[in-house]
Amino acid sequence: MTAESIFPRLEPLLPKVQKPIQYVGGELNSTVKEWDSADVRWALMYPDAYEVGLPNQGVAILYEILNELPATLAERTYAVWPDLEALMRAEGVPQFTVDAHRPVRAFDVFGVSFSTELGYTNMLTALDLAGIPLVAAERGDDDPIVLAGGHAAFNPEPIADFLDAAVLGDGEQIAIAITEVIREWKDEGRPGGRDELLMRLAESGGVYVPRFYDVDYHPDGRIKRVAPNRPDVPWRVHKHTVMDLDEWPYPKKPLVPLAETVHERFSVEIFRGCTRGCRFCQAGMITRPVRERSITTVGAMVKQGIEESGFNEVGLLSLSSADHSEIGDLAKGLADRYEGTNTSLSLPSTRVDAFNIDLANEFSRNGRRSGLTFAPEGGSERMRKVINKMVTEEDLIRTVTAAYSQGWRQVKLYFMCGLPTETDEDVLGIADLAKKVIKAGREATGSRDIRCTVSIGGFVPKPHTPFQWAGQADHETVDRRLKALRDSLRRDKEYGRAIGYRYHDGKPSIVEGLLSRGDRRVGAVIRAVWEDGGRFDGWSEHFSYERWMAAAERAGVDVDWYTTREREENEVLPWDHLDAGLDREWLWQDWQDAVSGGEVEDCRWTPCYDCGVCPTMGTEIQIGPTGRKLLPLTVV
């Protein structure tokens, strides 16, 4: 397969499409290496448009790490919009990388990072445009290894037929290990072809190769067992955990987008993992344990990243950034360092307490005091206990009072609808809470110029969480509750006009639920949707519930069975052979505790409660305070 640039064939198409700049590459800090300087080559894809894909941290980190390796190159590719797809098909232009516009099929690995299952159809488009057979079993020795990673790869079964391999967990070390396996196999003259390469990857224990596992079913459709069909392939595949984030200070040279993107800032991950134990949160469960990056390294990364990119906003990322053990020192140190400059700091706030307001004040020293976001997630105290989000109404009111009285005028509250055991009253409780927030704000400021936006997402039960056994609420129930909530807010003469309301209907959550907890039989639905024109399913203007339901019917897949059905304790779940480290018995007990009102503390500050991750993975919680300082100490 030739690796020559396809740009001469792409260029004439670009004036005919929207936002052509997203396809031209050449961003500051992008890398183009000579093709022949490398013997292992990766094409990395984020399966969404450039504007969403470019800021993705996972792809950016692997791109840099792989390009730093000798004799290895990595380039990026994104989903092309339907206007360019049609022209590429008409002109025979293949899926290309934006860096050197090389055809994706020429690479050794086609790595796709899935943050959400709604990117599956976009992967099929890319494979098809690349000229790579959609079905893994039909690929030949000239085709790349199609490899999935990211959070959705913790249950890759619905796309198992389309994948050669999947990797669970942190990608830094395993990407290097996979590169070395491929290099060795190529150096030896590719013995045994593609099959042997996949065997070598599978035998390593760190790469899941779906074709080496057979799935048997009971007559009623439940899974009987998943078993390796070759000797030397492990029964379970484990996730990867990077234990010292200070050793992996990436991105060092952040990519600066050419076209508009969803986040235009330099993001530094200040810790990985979360042990707060919110039962709905797959990210929190599968990234355990907590591993903090030291304040010194964060400071150095911020300094270098700004210098290398020219960004004037820095985001301190994690699943709950205010929980970093030295966040106070970090916020103050960075705010001091950049005071009076054009560099502003941001912190995704999800915890509801007064400490967050102090932090927000530090972070807004150089910027606008626009809005604060809090996520109580559940509308009633009872609901918040079920999901283990231990926030009382009192906490919330105290926090927003502090925020409003210190000059913040806009508070955004995030909730979910369709949670296990939820009733209509729990959802209507969101309206009461929002009204109390406005009332508190008016009292604290003496002003009526107070706003609160209520934003609601549909709950989807996810694999590797205590809710993996739960029945998902059907979309009719979710829509009915959301409508009742909207009516309750609108009816209120005193507070209704001060409360904004954002929600989506419940249908996309059902499709996400099908894909999240699906098994290999769901692959036929994904393919049928794609053949019927399904693209960009994460975008409401492209998503079609009817298309998904029609495809499921054609494929003989009962969507309710996969979504609204509650599972028994001993049912074999499609992802049971994929090990996120969590003890299955602990997860089941936590699901029982959810229903009976039992709470779990955060193991960072209380004794270990044996979720299983640390002993299984050989890891441990890594938190400060380290007593180290933010360097350099000079104020810019």
Site for ligand SF4, rule CB under 6 A: 275, 288-289, 603, 608-614, 621
Q: Residue 221 or residue 598: which is nearer to ligand SF4 going by CB? A: 598
Q: Residue 540 or residue 606: which is nearer to ligand SF4 going by CB? A: 606
Between CA 162 and CA 135 the distance in angstroms is 5
Between CA 253 and CA 266 the distance in angstroms is 9
Q: How far is the CB of 347 from ligand SF4 (least distance, A)?
A: 24
Q: How far is the CB of 519 from ligand SF4 (least distance, A)?
A: 27
Q: What is the DSSP string of 74-126?
A: EEEEEPPPHHHHHHHHHHTPPPB-TTT--BGGGSSEEEEE-SSGGGHHHHHHH
CB 158 within 8 A of CB 515: yes
Between CA 194 and CA 209 the distance in angstroms is 12
Q: How far is the CB of 583 from ligand SF4 (least distance, A)?
A: 8
Q: Residue 1 or residue 242: which is nearer to ligand SF4 going by CB? A: 242
Q: How far is the CB of 67 from ligand SF4 (least distance, A)?
A: 33
Q: Residue 50 or residue 591: which is nearer to ligand SF4 going by CB? A: 591
Beta bridge pairs of residue 217:
223
Half-sphere exposure of 319 (CA within 13 A, CB side): 19
Q: How far is the CB of 621 from ligand SF4 (least distance, A)?
A: 5
Q: Which CA distances in Å does 604 have to 274, 323, 615?
A: 9, 10, 16
Between CA 5 and CA 23 the distance in angstroms is 13
User: Which residues are within 8 A (CB) of 70 and not within 5 positions of it... i.e. 6 or more apart?
Assistant: none
Q: Residue 245 or residue 411: which is nearer to ligand SF4 going by CB? A: 245
Q: Residue 479 or residue 579: which is nearer to ligand SF4 going by CB? A: 579
Q: How far is the CB of 616 from ligand SF4 (least distance, A)?
A: 8
∠ CA 44-50-53, rounded to 5°: 55
Q: What is the DSSP string of 462-492?
A: -TTSGGGGSPPPPHHHHHHHHHHHHHHHHH-
Q: How far is the CB of 214 from ligand SF4 (least distance, A)?
A: 32
Q: How far is the CB of 230 from ligand SF4 (least distance, A)?
A: 32
Task: Please give the DSSP secondary-structure letter assigned to residue 622.
Answer: B
Q: Residue 559 or residue 603: which is nearer to ligand SF4 going by CB? A: 603
Between CA 362 and CA 307 the distance in angstroms is 22
Q: How far is the CB of 86 from ligand SF4 (least distance, A)?
A: 49
Strands 291-292 and 271-272, how do they pair?
antiparallel
Q: How many residues does the chain have?
A: 636
Q: How far is the CB of 288 from ligand SF4 (least distance, A)?
A: 4
Segment holding 436, helix H or strand E:
helix 424-445
Q: How far is the CB of 604 from ligand SF4 (least distance, A)?
A: 8
Q: Residue 337 or residue 389: which is nearer to ligand SF4 going by CB? A: 389
Task: State both tokens at 431.
Answer: 């309206």
Between CA 228 and CA 226 the distance in angstroms is 7
Q: Residue 533 or residue 598: which is nearer to ligand SF4 going by CB? A: 598
Q: How far is the CB of 273 from ligand SF4 (least distance, A)?
A: 8
Q: Residue 58 or residue 612: which is nearer to ligand SF4 going by CB? A: 612
Task: State both tokens at 260.
Answer: 């508009």
Residue whose C-alpha is closest to residue 481's, from 439, 512, 509, 515: 509
Q: Residue 450 or residue 611: which is nearer to ligand SF4 going by CB? A: 611
Q: Residue 608 or residue 636: which is nearer to ligand SF4 going by CB? A: 608
| CB-based contacts of 479-484 (< 8 A; 24+ apart in sequence) | 479/505, 479/506, 480/424, 481/417, 481/418, 481/422, 481/424, 481/427, 482/417, 482/427, 482/456, 482/506, 484/424, 484/427, 484/428
Segment holding 202, helix H or strand E:
helix 193-203
